[in-house]
């Protein structure tokens, strides 16, 4: 009965992570209410809604607009059912900002629209989801979106704990358990969240966050600082590429898939619309940077090395920045990682790495998350064409940036 609802929730969740266009934000809000009220809708209404949800698959911006219009006709029915459902309190943008301020002890400077989109995505859980599962969705979504300049893991963890306490789950962690929560989140491991029922905390979110920050800020912040220091090594300390003839080391998608020299030449031709002159030696050196170091199974690390190595050698006469963006996103996707880089932020994301304002490993971890189980891989050329279309404006800006640098 709920298959198409579940598929739609996942699809809108993914789109909200990639971008915060109004149609997805509005659809996400309506689907959140639909999921929360689903079990209190008449069966006939459920069947009608499932047929509507099925008819718009696969989701696109066009079908999302159609779905939004179709679901709007059911807003009153959803509202009545929602009034009968148990209240589940989700945080608002101001609450996420308070959580960040409690962790950083500084005023938050962040895109409120982006945070709102992430919180909406974080509330898109299936109707039967228990509170710990809902908290995990919220925490992982907020962390994946990286809305703040720092303390993203600990802010997401603090907000997740506040969500549990507000909704009737006892939060009583040791410092070690709090620390492990941030560690697991940053390393994409299972989260050991509290699950013991208690009376819901009726206080304002700010009061709950204040209490939890008093108890857990130190271990949460300490762990995130330690992770940042160990993960974001200096650029010159990234391991040099190893040229080896051994078989690729298995990664999240079962085995490593590398981009060949011919792949990179083809990608450069696609983004520049014409064949470009290139240095074979420099292209070969750049390509080697993607190969696994020793027995590494860390796809984000390999992607970071590949990105930095490619930007170091820049083998083509034109289009190196655009090629770097598309190539590293494709490398992540074919090796079992989804990329969650909003199109309007893509050029700035790459330029921060180019100008050494952001470490490449930090940049990759900001946008990469393991692909959900069961998702079928996309052929490389089809994937690249999709990426070029999605990031067309960013590629244009990168071409302009590169041309301006050549002129100066």
Prior bond of 172 cis (ω within 30°): no
**Predicted pLDDT of residue 188:** 76
Distance from C-alpha of 276 to C-alpha of 265, rounded to nearest angstrom: 8
Of the listed ranges 39-48, 119-128, 151-160, 357-366, the one predicted with least confidence:
357-366
Q: At a CB cut-off of 8 Å and minimum separation 6, what does 229 contact?
A: none
- CATH architecture of the domain 93-231 equals Up-down Bundle (1.20)
CATH 3.30.1300 fits 261-407, yes or no: no
Residue 397 phi, psi dihedral angles, 5° rounding: -65, -40
Does pLDDT of 78 surpass 70? yes
pLDDT at 156 exceeding the cut of 50: yes
The per-residue pLDDT for range 212-248, each reduced to its tens digit, is 999 999 999 999 888 776 544 444 444 444 333 333 3
- pLDDT computed for residue 285 by the predictor: 85
Please report the pLDDT score of residue 255 as a whole number.
65
Secondary structure (DSSP) of 191-209: P-----B-----S-HHHHH
**Statement: residue 18 has pLDDT above 80:** no
Mean pLDDT of 384-396: 94
DSSP 370: E
Q: Residue 136: count other Cβ atoms within 10 Å of its Cβ.
A: 19
Domain boundaries, the chain: 3-84, 93-231, 261-407
pTM of this structure: 0.62
Query: pLDDT at position 402, please?
Result: 83
pLDDT at 3: 82
The answer to whether domain 93-231 and domain 261-407 are alike in fold is yes
């Amino acid at each position: 009965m709920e298959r198409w609802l579940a598929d739609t929730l996942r699809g809108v969740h993914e789109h909200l992570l990639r971008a915060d266009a109004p149609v997805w934000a509005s659809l996400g809000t309506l689907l959140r209410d639909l999921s929360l009220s689903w079990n209190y809708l008449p069966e006939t209404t459920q069947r009608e809604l499932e047929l509507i949800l099925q008819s718009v698959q696969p989701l696109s911006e066009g079908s999302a607009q159609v779905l939004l219009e179709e679901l709007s006709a059911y807003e009153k029915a959803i509202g009545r059912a929602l009034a009968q459902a148990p209240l589940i309190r989700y945080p608002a943008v101001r609450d996420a900002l308070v959580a960040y301020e409690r962790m950083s002890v500084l005023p938050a400077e962040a895109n409120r629209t982006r945070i709102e989109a992430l919180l909406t995505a974080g509330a898109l859980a299936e109707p039967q989801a228990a509170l710990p599962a809902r908290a995990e969705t919220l925490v992982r979504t907020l962390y994946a979106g990286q809305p703040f300049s720092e303390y993203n893991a600990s802010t997401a963890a603090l907000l997740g704990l506040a969500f549990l306490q507000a909704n009737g789950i006892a939060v009583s962690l040791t410092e070690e358990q709090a620390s492990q929560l941030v560690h697991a989140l940053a390393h994409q491991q299972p989260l050991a969240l509290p699950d013991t029922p208690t009376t819901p905390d009726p206080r304002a979110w700010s009061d709950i966050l204040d209490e939890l920050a008093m108890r857990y800020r130190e271990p949460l912040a300490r762990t995130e600082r330690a992770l940042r220091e160990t993960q974001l090594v200096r650029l010159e300390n990234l391991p040099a590429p190893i040229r080896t003839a051994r078989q690729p080391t298995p990664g999240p998608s079962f085995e490593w898939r590398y981009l060949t020299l011919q792949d990179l030449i083809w990608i450069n031709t696609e983004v520049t619309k014409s064949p470009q002159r290139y240095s074979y030696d420099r292209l070969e050196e750049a390509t080697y940077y993607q190969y696994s170091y020793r027995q590494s199974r860390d796809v984000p690390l390999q992607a970071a090395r590949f990105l930095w190595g490619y930007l170091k050698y820049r083998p083509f006469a034109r289009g190196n920045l655009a090629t770097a963006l598309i190539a590293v996103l494709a490398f992540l996707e074919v090796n079992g990682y989804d990329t969650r880089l909003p199109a309007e932020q893509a050029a700035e994301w790459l330029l921060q790495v180019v100008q050494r304002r952001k470490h490449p490993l930090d940049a990759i971890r900001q946008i990469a998350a393991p692909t959900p189980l069961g998702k079928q891989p996309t052929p490389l050329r089809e994937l690249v064409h999709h990426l070029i279309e999605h990031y067309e404006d960013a590629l244009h800006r990168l071409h302009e940036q590169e041309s301006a640098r050549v002129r100066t």
